[in-house]
Homo-oligomer: A and B are copies of this chain.
Amino acid sequence: MARQERAVRTRNALIESAAELFDRDGFETASLSTISARAGVSNGALHFHFASKAALAAAVCEAAAQRLGRITGEGGEQEQADGALQILIDASHALLRGFSHDVVLRAGFDLGDSPESTGAGEDLHRRWQGWVEAVFAQADREGTLADDVSAQDAALAVVAAVAGFEALGGQDPQWLSPASLTRFWGLLLPRLAEESVLDRLVASGTAAEAG
């Protein structure tokens, strides 16, 4: 293995290991020596890649932000076909799937919540919220949002509910199941979607096996 490739692997292993320990023990409690041991590298190697625990947290947030970017970008090519609301439904399913099996994504979102790690990275909840607001504004422009619904109120409800599924899912994985989110969309869509597009929307997502 070339030296550079080995360095990238080590760095990624450290990010993964840090995410696991931040997720399990919290940023404050997780120790650098446990993180390096779990990644199978020496303390020296950790310090070669990351100057501090905060730098490691920033790298976890950056990796999580990339994954969120893929989730919110996933619908790019289907935009014309399905419209903004379906793109949002699909992304919300992909995000909850991520929360249930991708510890880097989960830890990245949680690090933004932790006062001790402030400044470690951008607040991913806020980034997700900005994207949801933009998608509802797009639905409004394309005429698929119901006339009497404000795009901002719709975004507020969806962002709150998804954050709730995430928070409750930490205790009871049932909340992160696709079935729970599908029931939420099944309830909300008749309120949000313009009547003529409602029948075309798939509350369970159109890409349930992807992502």
* A interface, CB within 8 angstroms of B: 25-26, 28-29, 112-113, 123, 125, 148-150, 152-154, 156-157, 159-168, 170-171, 175, 180, 183-184, 186-188, 190-191
The SS class assigned to the A binding surface is helix
- Select A187's contact among B112, B154, B170, B186, beta carbons within 8 Å: B154
Interface centre among A149, A159, A160, A183 (most CB of B within 10 A): A160
The smallest C-beta distance from A39 to any residue of chain B, in angstroms, reads 22
The smallest C-beta distance from A151 to any residue of chain B, in angstroms, reads 11
Closest A-B pairs by Cβ, 8 of them: A164-B164, A163-B164, A160-B164, A191-B191, A167-B167, A160-B161, A153-B187, A153-B183
The smallest C-beta distance from A179 to any residue of chain B, in angstroms, reads 10
What are 30 of the A-B contact pairs (CB < 8 Å)?
A26-B29, A29-B29, A125-B168, A153-B184, A156-B180, A156-B184, A156-B187, A157-B161, A157-B183, A157-B184, A157-B187, A157-B188, A159-B168, A160-B160, A160-B161, A160-B164, A160-B165, A160-B180, A160-B184, A162-B164, A163-B163, A163-B164, A163-B167, A163-B168, A164-B165, A164-B167, A166-B167, A167-B167, A187-B191, A191-B191
The smallest C-beta distance from A199 to any residue of chain B, in angstroms, reads 15
User: Quick check: A190 and B191 within 8 Å, CB to CB?
Assistant: yes
Q: Bound complex: CA of A167 vs CA of B106, how far in Å?
A: 14
User: Quick check: B164 and A159 within 8 Å, CB to CB?
Assistant: yes
Q: Bound complex: CA of A166 vs CA of B188, how far in Å?
A: 21
A184's closest neighbor in chain B, by CB?
Answer: B157
Q: Bound complex: CA of A190 vs CA of B154, how far in Å?
A: 13
